[in-house]
């Protein structure tokens, strides 16, 4: 990844803006500047529906005085515009008087998470559209039952700058390239959908390194296979989750509960559990923003702290939470590189990056053979989680019966119903075939940020299946 060659705002201007933010006696001020270019294209029913490009540019100013935070944002990056936003943020944080505070800025070294060979914004729209057309042809060729193919392409190139009154001056340049494909098959059992996606924090070379036709064929084959699916069973059964497909379970069912702002609100089942056994001793859970080229990789977080690898659960024992600036300062802890925001128009909060479970000792095929009767989940869908209790519901978008230790018939969509802490304790077999899953967007308090997740094949000894079989 190339370094940001020119400052989005000059350091002397940043110093004056930060000082203006603290002029009413606030103890902390921060400037977050963003310049983002993006392109998207969509295909539906063989036709290119839209190709669009956009640019978002602006700054958010945060001022903290005691327990009060003032925030203002502006699209005017002139010194006048930034000073006006700083005054507004300072006024929101405090109506009292105070002196002028000067600050000397020192550069922060970003963690190098990847390199870019083909900058997406330098690739023609024709080349991007051609990717979608290749996907459409490949998916339709799988089977005559495929009646519809939809695909979406997206890329972004974002430059950010963060400066604060602690002397931090950090920059990053983040590039993401994404492809999604959905295929619909029609048969006697109605219509079924298959979905696959591909996304990395690298440039257009992602399509040289990955087979987009194979991605399309996988989505189409998933849809065709589901045409012959039988209703999913109901009740409690052992569940084997394929590698890479169940990381979202850990992201939702326990990851959010390990975010320090959720902890501080008393809204997490993991509050005051550090040092306690909260999972099977097989489980080590990591959040890692340094993970090269993965969807949640960042050089620095959106508060200017270098990304890092954080061990959250070690051999089943809860070791730490994820921290942003405000929560770390209040608790006397070090930041963990998890302060993230959707854009310059938003305040940062504690967010995950790439969250995953490390490899275990077991052969994945042996895990299936050891399961006499159960359900094999090849792909999980979306879900809902109550962080205070850990209770969750997740959709199974691709699943199969396990009968006498073998994967047999496909199942129609059903739900996995359970409790996050209980699932962590009930993992009794953990494979050695770790894989990351599909790129995702994590929503929290109205903000979305890119995240990744993953895990090896694993077995939960008992989960409730919400199916329709009698």
Q: Do 149 and 252 reside in the same domain of the chain?
A: no
Beta bridge partners of 192: 185
Contact 448, 349 (CB under 8 A): no
What pLDDT, on the 0 to 100 scale, is given for residue 384? 85
386: domain range?
Answer: 235-466
Q: Are 306 and 288 in contact (CB under 8 A)?
A: no
- Rounded to 5 degrees, φ, ψ at 208 are -85, -30
pLDDT tens-digit series, residues 11-44: 999 999 999 999 989 999 999 999 999 999 999 9
Cβ atoms 296, 452 nearer than 8 A: yes
Identify whether 325 is part of a domain: yes
Q: Is the pLDDT of residue 230 over 60?
A: yes
Cβ atoms of 397 and 381 within 8 Å: the answer is: yes
Looking at 313-322, 352-361, 411-420, which range is the least confident one? 411-420
- Which residues, other chains included, contact 466 with Cβ-Cβ below 8 Å and sequence gap of 6+? 232, 234, 393, 414, 415, 416, 417
Q: 340 in helix, strand or coil?
A: strand
N-term to C-term CA, the chain: 55
pLDDT number for residue 100: 38
At residue 61, what are phi and psi to the nearest 5 degrees? -115, 125
Residues 292 and 373 in one domain: yes
Rounded CA gap, 48 and 436, in Å?
Answer: 30
User: What pLDDT was estimated at residue 95?
Assistant: 56
- Tell whether 96 is covered by a domain: yes
Q: How far apart, in whole angstroms, are the C-alpha atoms of residue 121 and residue 35?
A: 13
Note whether 109 and 159 are same-domain residues: yes
The CB-side HSE value for 84 (13 A sphere, CA atoms) comes to: 9
Q: Is residue 5 part of a domain?
A: no
Residue 3 lies in a domain: no
Question: Rounded distance, CA 300 to CA 155, Å?
Answer: 20
Residue 125 sits in the same domain as residue 244:
no
Residue 251 sits in the same domain as residue 213? no
DSSP 228: T
Q: Is residue 6 part of a domain?
A: no
Is residue 213 located within the same domain as residue 271? no
Residues 359 and 419 in one domain: yes
Let me know whether 139 and 30 are in one domain: yes
**Domain total of the chain:** 2
Single out the residue in 207, 226, 245 at which a domain terminates: 226
Q: How far is CA 436 from CA 188, 231, 295, 433, in A?
A: 35, 29, 10, 10
**Residue written as token pair 């073998």:** 406
Domain membership flag for residue 4: no
Contact 253, 173 (CB under 8 A): no
Q: What is the pLDDT of residues 110-147, one digit of tens each?
A: 878 888 999 999 999 999 999 999 999 999 999 999 99
Residue 1 confidence (pLDDT) = 38
For residues 217 and 114, state if they share a domain: yes
Task: Tell me if 432 sits within 8 A of 284, measured CB to CB.
Answer: no
330 plus 429 within the same structural domain = yes
CA distance 210 to 205: 9
| Assigned domain for 334 exists | yes
Does 1 reside within a domain? Answer: no
Contact assessment for residue 119 and residue 203, using Cβ atoms and an 8 Å cutoff: yes
The tokens describing 323, both together, are 């921290």
Asked if 381 and 196 count as a contact pair (C-beta separation under 8 A), the reply is no
Domain boundary among 226, 243, 270: 226
Lowest mean pLDDT among 88-97, 102-111, 394-403: 102-111
Based on the fold, state whether residues 207 and 251 are members of the same structural domain: no
> Looking at the structure, do residues 219 and 243 belong to the same domain, yes or no?
no
Last residue in a domain, options 166, 195, 226: 226
Q: What is the CATH number of the domain that holds 104?
A: 3.30.2290.10
């Amino acid at each position: 990844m190339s370094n940001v060659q020119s400052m989005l705002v000059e350091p002397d201007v940043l110093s004056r803006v930060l000082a203006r933010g603290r002029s009413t006696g606030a103890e902390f001020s921060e400037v977050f500047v963003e310049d983002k270019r993006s392109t998207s294209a969509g295909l539906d029913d063989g036709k290119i529906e839209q190709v669009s490009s956009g640019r978002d540019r602006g700054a958010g100013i945060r001022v903290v005085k005691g327990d009060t935070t003032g925030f203002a944002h502006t699209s005017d990056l002139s010194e006048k515009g930034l000073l006006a936003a700083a005054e507004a943020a300072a006024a929101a944080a405090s109506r009292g008087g105070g002196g002028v505070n000067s600050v000397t800025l020192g550069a922060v070294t970003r963690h190098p998470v990847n390199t870019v060979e083909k900058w997406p914004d330098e690739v023609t729209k024709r080349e991007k559209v051609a990717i979608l057309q290749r996907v459409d042809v490949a998916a339709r060729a799988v089977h005559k039952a495929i009646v519809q193919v939809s695909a979406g392409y997206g890329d972004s190139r974002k430059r950010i700058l963060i400066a604060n009154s602690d002397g931090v001056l950090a920059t990053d340049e983040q590039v993401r390239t994404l492809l999604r494909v959905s295929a619909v098959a029609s048969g006697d059992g109605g219509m079924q959908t298959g979905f696959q996606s591909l996304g990395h924090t690298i440039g257009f070379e992602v399509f040289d390194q990955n087979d987009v036709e194979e991605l399309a064929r996988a989505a189409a084959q998933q849809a065709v296979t589901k045409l012959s699916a039988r209703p999913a069973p109901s009740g409690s059964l052992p569940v084997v989750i394929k590698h890479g497909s169940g990381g979202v379970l850990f992201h939702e069912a326990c990851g959010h509960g390990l975010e320090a702002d959720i902890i501080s609100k008393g809204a997490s089942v993991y509050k005051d559990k550090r040092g306690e056994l909260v999972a099977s001793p097989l489980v080590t859970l990591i959040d890692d923003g340094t993970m090269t080229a993965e969807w949640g990789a960042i050089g620095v977080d959106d508060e200017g702290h270098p990304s890092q690898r954080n061990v959250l659960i070690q051999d089943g024992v809860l070791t730490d939470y994820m921290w942003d600036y405000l929560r770390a300062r209040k608790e006397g802890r070090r930041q963990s590189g998890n302060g993230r925001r959707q854009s310059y128009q938003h305040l940062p909060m504690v967010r995950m990056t790439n969250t995953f479970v490390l490899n275990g000792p077991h052969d994945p095929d042996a895990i299936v053979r050891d399961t006499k009767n159960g359900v094999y989940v090849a792909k999980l869908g979306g879900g809902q989680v109550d962080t205070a209790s850990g209770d969750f519901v997740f959709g199974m978008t691709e699943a199969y019966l396990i009968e006498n230790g073998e994967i047999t018939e496909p199942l129609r969509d059903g739900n996995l119903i359970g409790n996050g802490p209980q699932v962590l304790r009930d993992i009794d077999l953990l494979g050695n075939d770790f894989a990351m899953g599909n790129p995702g967007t994590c929503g929290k308090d109205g903000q979305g940020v890119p995240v990744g997740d993953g895990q090896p094949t694993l077995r939960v000894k008992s989960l409730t299946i919400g199916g329709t079989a009698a």
